[in-house]
Structure 1
């Protein structure tokens, strides 16, 4: 099992996007795309994720988890090579649409494979420890890759993408040394000792114990979203998800506008990884201290003050980006736990998927519409304005609707 787990760590490391993320937007700018076009192609990625979520999940169930992961790695290699070749808005939009396919193939599948493998030997209690170490390995590799991204870009703008293609390719031979799991691959395991009970569902607590039909799923989603305890937290989360998403898209032009060199972007992104890791490690303690209501209310003052500050002093956009990552890393799991606690087991995956799709669609729309505004007023001023306006709207929503409610069960009445 020890050798198997090490290979799993190596595979997870191959999922890093650390080489390309720190220079992805400045690279598109160097290829002649303006901020409206960049917002459009980034929105294409998010919209494509919504479109492909169900088809790739179906294919993953039919083909098996390991095969789905392999397809995700193959498509990722093609995407990274496509970045190096693309030189138009249409070309980058096609690359991002394909990137969404790779992303949806891999989302949650690696963890599901690991859980099933551990459960086959009665070692499922090891899941949190192993996934935690796998995530740490991924962050470590991503941080190291980010440090070199700026230097590679200065040597040749295509090099970070080719390096990420090579990293993704490493995952393919590693994958085929890992055993299949029984139910998801449609046949018995390669090694009888690696067998698990037949299951085509993600075993994480966020998923349904059994699938439901499309009509039933629509009914469950409509019923759950009519409840104030779900409806208003989704609206509240969508506001701040919009801020976080447009910030991620336009942060590189914003940093460049305040004097950060391309070579320095990789260093900052490595720092972002460190802040995210630290924030993840203290999320439980912060939640225990402030409670769900206190943690989620933090979004209003922290976003308002942080984004308002760099309206007055633009260079403060750099520390604001660190704050954004820490804040998002702490609040996201607290929000997910809140929703989980307020939906029943049957339909849980449907509700969580519906919430995720809603947030993704809002973010994608913000990216597409925001690009033209950012081009007109400048990325720093645009991000500051969005942050302050959303903070004010979030405060009004918090007071007017009480999005965090104590009772797990409530009626559809507001």
Structure 2
């Protein structure tokens, strides 16, 4: 299985490079400087998710037909192009174009990359460990990029240009990937392609789990990526410290690499539920505080919870999916996640723009609703 080990290493390297988003510490400020409001950012996020929703199943079917490796190479190429557009964007339309390209690529990778990684593993223990490490390397890339921010002299555009470079290198690494080897990969290649109705019914059986995960993930995404810098400003933290704080959040996210070690007798589903419950408490704390130290620790804690929940949720989906058309089936699951994001992103953005603590309070409600849905899924099983 030497080829599979090499494939996993290359895939981890590609995603580590993709994680190196050098403008991450000032992502919201970057857009605000270009005249894009917080509500517009969340509307763009919603449109992006809507486009992904329409492309998920067609992309998944195409990837199952032409091969997951080829599909990933194409998507990494589009991702690199999206960062060029972001670097040159100066209006809301430029940032929308970047998100549309990103949506196209992410819809193609959704289900495809996890199916490829799954085929490069032997058993549940190995693929849970691989998903956790995969999450960890992405966060490690983000951490390195965040640590570089103080060295850029506050140059927003330079940070975007460096991100173009890291994404281009990631594309080059994916060109070195090879088809997986072994019985699991051969079985996947021979599996029949299921009809759409069957795939949607399978996703419906997982609906409570998928909705619960989506409620938490969208809340954590908005809080860590968009609200964090506004929260730091609300607490009186200087902009010069944002790079260190972003690095702290990224470093906390490295805990996702150990997520598989948390799984006990209750399975990964129970761990996800507990992580989401704690996430709601953190959002409530952030809404109530103006203390710099509490915010400086609360945002990284939320990032850590999200990083731990994400690989476990992927493992659950891969373990529950039926044989045949794995990428397309996982894409149907992703449609549920994206539908939830389309509805939540603008609501969270508008609420936070009116009153930032209100955005965190709404996030706490979403998290606890997600925890309740996972509890319902656990009881049903």
TM-score when normalising by structure 1: 0.73
Looking at structure 2, the residues matched to 115 and 338 of structure 1 have their Cα atoms a distance apart, in angstroms, of: 12
Q: Which residue of 1 aligns with 2:199?
A: 217
Unaligned runs of 5+ in 1: 182-193, 409-414
Are residues 318 and 344 of structure 1, via their aligned partners in 2, closer, same or farther at CA, if it must alter by over 3 Å? same
Contact 2:263/2:271, CA 8 A, preserved across alignment: yes
Q: Which consecutive residues of structure 2, in runs of 5 or more, have no partner in the other structure? A: none
Aligned to 2:347: 369
Q: What SS does the corresponding residue of 1:212 show, helix, strand or coil? A: coil
1:403 maps to 2:376: yes
Distance verdict in 2 for CA 1:307–1:52, change over 3 Å: same
The 3 A distance-change label for structure 1 pair 334 and 348 is same
* Alpha-carbon distance in structure 1 between the residues aligned to 2:174 and 2:269: 42
Is 2:263 the counterpart of 1:313? no
Distance 1:343 1:407, change over 3 A: farther
Determine helix, strand or coil for the equivalent of 1:260.
Answer: coil
CA-CA distance at 1:179 after TM superposition: 5.8
Distance (Å, rounded) in 2 between the aligned partners of 1:24 and 1:330:
23
- 1:45-78 Cα distance to aligned partner (Å, 9 max, x none): 2222222223333444455444433322322222
CA contact (8 A) 2:111 2:326 kept: no
Whole-Å separation in 2 of the counterparts to 1:87 and 1:257:
26
Matched residue, 1:140 = 140
Q: Give distance in 1, aligned partners of 2:253 and 2:109.
A: 21
3-state SS in 2 of match to 1:84? helix
Distance 2:334 2:277 in 1: 24
Of Structure 1 and Structure 2, the greater helix share is in 2
2:336 pairs, out of 354, 358, 375, with 358
Corresponding residue for residue 81 of structure 1: 84
Write out per-residue CA displacement over residues 391-411 of structure 1, whole angstroms, 9 at most, x where no aligned residue: 56567x56xx95143564xxx
Query: What CA distance in whole angstroms lies between the structure 1 residues aligned with 2:278 and 2:52?
Result: 29
CA contact (8 A) 1:73 1:102 kept: yes
1:382 corresponds to = 358
Which fold has the larger relative contact order, with Cα–Cα distance below 8 Å and residues 6 or more apart in sequence? 2
State the alpha-carbon separation in 1 of the partners of residues 266 and 198 from structure 2.
37
Preserved CA contact (<8 Å) 2:43 2:345: yes
Cα distance, 1:42 vs structure 2: 1.9
Query: What is the alpha-carbon distance in structure 2 between the residues aligned to residue 331 and residue 264 of structure 1?
Result: 28
Question: Which of 246, 264, 268 is 2:222 aligned to?
Answer: 246
Give the direction of change, closer, same or farther, for the CA distance of 1:108–1:150 in structure 2 (3 Å limit). farther
Aligned partners of 1:308, 1:72: CA distance in 2, in Å?
Answer: 37
Q: Compared with structure 1, are the counterparts of its residues 237 and 56 closer, same or farther at alpha carbon in structure 2 (3 Å cutoff)?
A: closer
Secondary structure, in 3 states, of the residue corresponding to 1:22? Answer: helix
Q: 2:28 aligns with which of 13, 25, 29?
A: 25
Following TM superposition, by how much is the alpha carbon of 1:41 offset from its aligned partner in structure 2, in angstroms?
Answer: 1.5
- Distance in 2 separating the partners of 1:404 and 1:213: 25
Secondary structure at the counterpart of residue 56 of structure 2? helix
The worse-fitting range, judged by mean Cα deviation, of 288-297 and 306-315 is 288-297
Corresponding residue pairs, total = 375
Partner of 2:149: 149
| Equivalent runs, 1:245-264 vs 2, <5 Å | 245-247=221-223, 248-264=225-241
Would the aligned equivalents of 1:23 and 1:153 in 2 still touch at CA under 8 Å? Answer: no
2:16 and 2:141 in contact (8 A); partners too: yes
Alignment of 1:58-137 (within 5 A): 58-61=61-64, 63-107=66-110, 109-110=112-113, 136-137=136-137
Alignment match, 1:412 = none
Distance 1:258 1:167 in 2: 33
In the aligned structure 2, how far is the partner of 1:127 from the partner of 1:77? 27
**Counterparts of 2:37 and 2:51 in 1: how far apart (Å)?**
21
Map 1:324-363 to 2 at 5 A: 324-335=302-313, 345=323, 352-363=330-341
The corresponding residue for 2:251 is: 274
Change (3 A) 1:406 1:304: closer
